[in-house]
Amino acid sequence: MQIEDADYVIAGGGSAGCVLANRLSEDSRNRVVLLEAGPGADGFWNRMPAGGMKHLGNAERDWCFMTEPDPSLNGRQGFWSAGRMLGGGSSVNGMIYIRGDRTDYDDWASTLGCTGWSWNEVFPFFVKSEAWSGKPSQTHGTTGTLGVSEPRLKHPLARTFVDACEQFGLRRVEDYCAGDVDGAFLMLTTQANGQRSSAARAFLDEAMKRPNLEVLTGAIVDKVLIKNGRAVGVQFLRGGEVQSVRCRGEVIVSSGTLNSPTVLMRSGLGPAEHLREHGIDVVRDMPEVGRNLQEHASFHSVFQVDIPTYNTMMKPAVMAREFVKYLLANRGLMTMIPVEAMAYLRSRPELERPDIKLSFGLMAHDHATRKPQKLPAVVVFANVAKPKSRGEVRLRSADPTDKSVIDHRLIGHRDDIAALIAGAKKIQQLFTMPALAPHVKGPLMPSPLPETDEQWEQAIRNSAGIGYHPVATCRMGGDDASVVDPRLKVRGIEGLRVVDASIMPIMPAANTNAPAIMVGEKGADMILQDAKVPA
């Protein structure tokens, strides 16, 4: 079955895909089709901030990827959640709003040949998306549709953590959205009036009323149809039936870091030998497709404190009360975010930039049982800010319903494990600072507390997990080997782009949802610009 031809076909309705669908359909002359494998993102549970957690592990709304055994994690397999619904990760994530540091993007432009992607050039696209509800600010926008705000629920220990960081020698950063994350600060969130502002709600709710935008959910993208070196459509599965949509303009792959490379591979674009192994005709040998995978390794430390924290509120009577509070006023525990403060620090004083990211939360879990800690507790997640470890994504088969193979070495580089060891030890020191120390009753995890670097390394390799920030499997670059050029065009194929977090050449030192939305904004702008230029 073939549906009506379109000017633009977007393969994937995640954070970037929702932005693309909105911006490309603003011109009523453009017919746009958006294909999403999962369901929609409407309904109460998708508006309530804490409701997103209900989707994790639900195969209808979460891709529920499992990695290959990872030698750097002592052979453990990792469970990698990824949003499988309109809005993608923004519909299930922790709603943390952070852009990264200006040096992240300046490096893309100056070192990696990504012309047009410096901080000053991407900054307007962050601002463009925003419907900022705080005090007037030159670094925030108010005319966009993405709700960005201070969290409604603020625990006093979050500010205490920032105070302790300052006592530890870190800078207090007043406006981390200005491109400076070198220090400690309180977090902003993608919420509007106490409700989750997913990319689906922010960019699609109103756009879907346009007659020139068609959104098809339950549509599993198989491959891009390529004829004579040009993308001419997309083939997908829906309701058990093979369907296709022809494209007279551009096909945009926006299926996310873990799926976009396999869409390209099934289309004949990827490592030639790997494609032939799965019986796929090679359209163009592109060895970099699926490679360069980066992810934030995350190691958590938990401390018992003397003040009630959110995990101690996980009791039926309290939850019922908080649920009613949310129903009446969009306030209370149901608006919580998992990270209320962050800090960036150096594992070694001679480093020019911070290499460790700390995320401070008031919802601590027992690592063994996965259940909330029964004692009042806080958690600090340590990440390598810009990991050097790499992995890859491959095809399991040519069947689009088969999940991608994720073969990563989460802590495969010695510099990464060294940074995590240093970060974990500095967390212990940080909690002895005068601001925090009176509230700390003792460490809960890791247990027992390591005493040597070798013991720290084993504790990290035995329990570290992901930060839910995979990037770079369809990397952008100025070199011919890169998958896409700086205008996000797939090299060697006309009418085809990749626009999502997979194009990031190096991970920003940040959570990746706001950067992914920026990529969607900038990608849409480039597509519309190029459409005005005579061929």
How would you class 275 by CB atoms within 10 Å of its CB: exposed for 0-12, middle for 13-18, buried for 19 or more? Answer: buried
Cα 300 to Cα 384: distance, rounded to the nearest angstrom: 12
Tokens in use for 517? 């939305």
Asked whether the beta carbons of 440 and 307 are under 8 A apart, the reply is no
How would you class 397 by CB atoms within 10 Å of its CB: exposed for 0-12, middle for 13-18, buried for 19 or more? Answer: middle
Residues 6+ apart with CB under 8 A from 315: none
Q: Residues in the chain, how many?
A: 535
Residues 6+ apart with CB under 8 A from 211: 28
| CA quadruple 99, 102, 106, 112: dihedral sign | negative
Tokens in use for 120? 């000053």
Torsion of CA 356, 90, 240, 247, to 10 degrees: -100
Residue with tokens 């994690």: 73
Cβ neighbours around 300 below 10 Å, total: 20
Cα 155 to Cα 172: distance, rounded to the nearest angstrom: 18
| CA neighbours closer than 13 Å in the CB half-sphere of residue 26 | 12
In the annotation, is 469 catalytic? yes
Q: Which of 55, 140, 365, 469 is catalytic?
A: 469
Asked whether the beta carbons of 418 and 347 are under 8 A apart, the reply is yes
Cα 204 to Cα 210: distance, rounded to the nearest angstrom: 10
Asked whether the beta carbons of 466 and 297 are under 8 A apart, the reply is yes
Tokens in use for 85? 């619904």
Asked whether the beta carbons of 122 and 106 are under 8 A apart, the reply is no
The closest of 202, 225, 203, 221 to 213, measured between CA atoms, is 203
Asked whether the beta carbons of 265 and 280 are under 8 A apart, the reply is yes
Asked whether the beta carbons of 67 and 407 are under 8 A apart, the reply is yes
The closest of 174, 173, 179 to 123, measured between CA atoms, is 179
Cα 17 to Cα 258: distance, rounded to the nearest angstrom: 15
Query: What residues are annotated to the active site?
Result: 469
